[in-house]
Structure 1
C-alpha cells in the first residue's frame, strides 16, 4: 500500500460526485420528459390532426388553382375558336335575356304576395353573391347553343 490519498487512484472527489449527480439528474429529466411526451396520446393526436389539416389545406389550394387554370384555359379556347359574329350575337342575346328577365321580374313582383317576394329576395341575394360563376356558365351555354345552331344550318 501507498501513502497517496485515495482521490488520486480513482475515487472521485466530492465535487466530481456532485457534477455526476447533476448530470445524471439532467439526463433523467430529459428521459422523463421524452417518456411523458410519448405517453400523452391526446397531444400526439392533436399534433397529427394539425399536420393532416395543414396537408389537406395545401392540397385543396393546389387543386383549386389547377381547376381555375383549366377553366380559364377552356374559356380562352372557346373564345378563340368562336367567330366574332357569333360572339356578337351571344352578347346581343345576353342583353335581350337581361331585359326580358327584368320585365318579367317587374311583372311578377307586382302580382306576387309579400311572403313569396321575401323568399325570392333571399334567393336573389344568394344569386348575386355568386353572380360571376352564374354569368360565366350562362354565357358559355349561350355560346354553345349558338355554335350548335350555326352548325345545324350548314
Structure 2
C-alpha cells in the first residue's frame, strides 16, 4: 500500500514544515558546535596562551626598542670614560670570557650554598 503524494494545501504545509525542520536542525547543529567549542577547555586555554604569547612578544619588542633608544641617549650625554678605565674594563671582559666555565661554577656553588643556608634557617624556625 503506497500512498500517493499529497496534493492541495496540505502539500505546501508539509513542504513548509519540512523546510522549517531542516532549518531547525541546521541551527541546532551550529549551537552544538558552539557549545562543544566552549566546553573544550584545553583548546581554549591553548588559544589564550598563544594570544598572550603574541602580546608579550610584541610588548617585549617595544620595550627593547625603548631601552635601546634610552641607552643611546644616555650614552650620548655621558662623557667618555678615561682610557685606563676602558682598558681595564676590556681586560676584565676578556678574562671573563676566557674563564666563563670557572665563573659559572663559582656562581653555581654560591647559589647552592645560599640555598643550603636558607634551608637550614627554615628548619630552625
Output the TM-score relative to the length of structure 1: 0.47
| Equivalent residues in 2 for 1:1-154, closer than 5 Å | 7=9, 12-78=12-78, 82=79, 90-91=82-83, 93=84, 97=87, 121=98, 123=100
Cα distance in 2, alignment partners of residues 14 and 42 from structure 1: 44
Q: CA deviation at 1:61?
A: 1.0
Q: 1:31 to 1:6 in 2, by over 3 A?
A: same
Q: CA deviation at 1:21?
A: 1.6
The structure that has the greater radius of gyration is 1
Q: Deviations over 1:15-67 (max 9, x none)?
A: 21221121111101001001101111111111111111111111111111111
Aligned partner of 1:115 in structure 2 is: none
Structure 2 residue matching 1:69: 3-state secondary structure: helix
Ranges in structure 2 where 5+ consecutive residues have no aligned partner: 1-6, 102-125
Q: Deviations over 1:76-120 (max 9, x none)?
A: 111xxx4xxxx5x845x478x38xx5xxx8xxxxxxxxxxxxxx7
Cα distance in 1, alignment partners of residues 15 and 64 from structure 2: 65
Cα distance in 1, alignment partners of residues 99 and 30 from structure 2: 61
Structure 1 residue matching 2:21: 3-state secondary structure: helix
Greater relative contact order (Cα 8 A, min sep 6): structure 1 or 2? 1
Ranges in structure 1 where 5+ consecutive residues have no aligned partner: 106-119, 125-154
Q: CA deviation at 1:12?
A: 4.9
Cα distance in 2, alignment partners of residues 57 and 90 from structure 1: 39
